[in-house]
Amino acid sequence: MNYIEPIRRGNRIHHWRFEDGETCPNPGNAIELDPPPRGWYCWMYSKDDEGFRDWMAQCCPTAEVIHRFNSGDPMWTVYISDENEAMLFKLKWST
Amino acid sequence: MNITTGMPGAHVDPAVGAIRFNTTISTIERWDGHSWIVTTGFMTQQEMPELIIKVGSVAGIVYNCVIPVGKPWVDMFRWCVDIMDKCGNRNADPLWPSRNEDVVLHARWYMAENMFWFRDPEDQMMFVLRWS
């Protein structure tokens, strides 16, 4: 296999943000008319996808976790609505 | 059949008359020696590329991609499953695109973003020979 760059796989959180469910992130945008649901959002690049999936199923059972191809840079999009689960997630993965 | 190549090295000027598919704005462009000129709408059916070959990467590994233009996607997908076993993005379905793609890293092949991605050049060549 040919490598074009070193594989930098690690547990990394990108774009961590909180939405209050009332504020529209881009006022005036013709597409995003409604504010997103209240909760915590992020992208997650995990070192161990299976391990991350299992941990989320166990510790954040109500979170929405979606694995995406992302143009060849696979990552997870995470939406957590429960405050306790969000705190647990932050403590575990945010380093 | 016309097979066109992408640009593995952007610093190397392609040959005059080379064709590429611009995936950003979905147009077919021709290199006139100085810049890429959009030719969509002006090409005849005979000039239209059927399989466009590109180079991509998945988690740092080079993948050999093919964009089929106006081809039977469902049949192609089933053929790949028959020949190369399961798709690397396990929920891939040409009829019902899934939100959760469930990607396995460094798989033998993927179907994503209007392309077939092959880890091995031999698989790409086999695909091109089968569908050209």
pLDDT along chain B (132 residues), means of 10: 50 74 71 78 53 90 90 87 90 84 92 92 90 80
List chain B residues with CB under 8 Å of A53.
none
Tell me if A6 and B56 make a contact (CB, 8 A cut-off).
no
Burial code (b: 16+ CB inside 10 Å, e: under 16) for B12-45 equals: eebeeebbbbebeeeebbbbeeeebeeeeeeeee
> What is the largest distance, in Å, between two alpha-carbon atoms of chain A?
49
Q: Quote the pLDDT of residue B46.
A: 52
Which H helix or E strand runs over B77? helix B73-84
**pLDDT < 70 stretches in chain A:** 1-9, 95
Residue among B61, B110, B112 minimizing CB distance to A2: B61
> Can you give the pLDDT at residue B1?
46
Percent of chain A with pLDDT over 90: 61
Task: Search chain B and give the residue with CA nearest A45.
Answer: B59
The pLDDT, as a whole number, for residue A52 is 94
Q: Do B62 and A71 touch (CB under 8 A)?
A: no
Q: Given the DSSP bridges, would you call strands B51-58 and B3-5 parallel, antiparallel or unpaired?
A: parallel
Report the pLDDT value the prediction gives residue B92, as an integer from 0 to 100. Answer: 87
**Cross-chain residue pair A3–B61, CB shorter than 8 Å:** yes
CA distance B40 to B52: 15
Q: Which residues of A touch B103 (CB under 8 A)?
A: 49, 67-69, 74
Size of interface A-B (CB pairs under 8 A): 53
Q: What is the pTM of this model?
A: 0.69
How far is B106 from B128, CA to CA, in rounded Å?
Answer: 21
Cβ within 8 Å, pair A69-B112:
yes
What local confidence, expressed as pLDDT, does residue B14 receive?
A: 80
